[in-house]
Amino acid sequence: MGDDRLRLPRGYRRLLACYPAWYRRVHEEEMLAVLMTAAPSGKRQPGIAEAADLIWGALRIRCQPSRADTAEPVWRDALAVLSVIVPLIVVVRFLANEARFLLLMPAPGPLANGFPLWVLNAAAAPLVLGALAPLGLRLPRLAALAGAGLLTWLIYDLPGGRFGIAVGDVPMVLAAATVTFALAVSGGPRRGLQILTWKYAALVTVATILVGTSVVPMDRPDRLVARLIVIIVIGAGMALTSSLGRWLVLLLAVAAYPVVLFTGLSLFPPGLRASLAFLPLMAAYYLPPVAVLLVAARRLGLRLWAGGKRGKIGA
């Protein structure tokens, strides 16, 4: 009987978990009090309309700008910067690889017999991702929706027609996921450009060119290693100077993880590479970034499951 009375507040708390952690710290108990006061006696669980209203409210609060004097959480700013950088990196990488491909092909080349469809296919994803940055400058939430669409398209691997995640697209999938997430919850490219001081802009430009042109492992291993060392030094520099730098490095590492892994693998002799089984490789690709994201989500208060101690009133 006593347990029955606890069902309703527990149900409300589950819904309130959708609200941002900073908001819940201040308002959760207050909102719960209002919800419980408004609930007729004997009510066992939140109704559908109530649930929808709370979820909608949570979404709106996440999208609202916060006070100027309240410090914007650093990870949000880092994501805002990423919403500028990641599309840039993807486009640079695409253009660099295409330029290399087209330059190395003997004449007349692939464009001789009219415009081949596969060029469009290969170009579509990076260019769409690149376009999300300028779109996000004006309409960040719409750009987030577009990013979600791109992500779905990439995961479904529409050109191939199979349902599954193409291994070769892993960097693109993570890049698209990062940009979509950044556009949805952060201040978007507008805020990102505000934050990118000349110091970061310079570091990012150098890193972009290095990352953008080093992916295709046709390079000699020593050149590749030299590039990786420069990138690591830049990353360390950013991480040591500020908490924003640390967040940027962490998030970029998560997004670029498969690129690093793939590049590292390419240093191994081909025979060894071929013997690596498929499933462990997929796990190595996806589990670490997914685990990091789950931990981060948990820390940010996005409770994926009920339970846990709650703060006391006044704490």
Question: Considering the complex, what minimum distance in angstroms separates the CB of residue 190 from other proteins?
Answer: 17
Q: Which of 273, 257, 263 is nearest to 218 (CA)?
A: 263
Question: Considering the complex, what minimum distance in angstroms separates the CB of residue 38 from other proteins?
Answer: 6
Binding to other proteins (CB under 8 A): which residues in 27-66? 27, 29-38, 49-50, 53-58, 60-61, 64-66
174: helix, strand or coil: helix
314 interacts with other proteins by CB under 8 A: yes
**Pick 64 or 113: Cβ nearer other proteins:** 64
**Pick 23 or 181: Cβ nearer other proteins:** 23
Binding to other proteins (CB under 8 A): which residues in 63-92? 64-67
Could you tell me the two tokens for 174? 């993570």
Question: Considering the complex, what minimum distance in angstroms separates the CB of residue 26 from other proteins?
Answer: 9
Could you tell me the two tokens for 32? 């719960």
Question: Considering the complex, what minimum distance in angstroms separates the CB of residue 34 from other proteins?
Answer: 4
Q: Which of 175, 76, 82 is nearest to 129 (CA)?
A: 175
Q: Which amino acid is at 262?
A: F
Neighbouring residues of 285: CB distance < 8 A, sequence distance ≥ 6: 167, 170, 257, 258, 261
Buried b (16+ CB within 10 A) or exposed e, 167-194: eebbbbbbbbbbbbbbbbbbbbbebbbe
Question: Considering the complex, what minimum distance in angstroms separates the CB of residue 50 from other proteins?
Answer: 6
Number of residues that bind other proteins (CB under 8 A): 28
Q: Which residues contact other proteins by CB under 8 A?
A: 23, 27, 29-38, 49-50, 53-58, 60-61, 64-67, 313-314
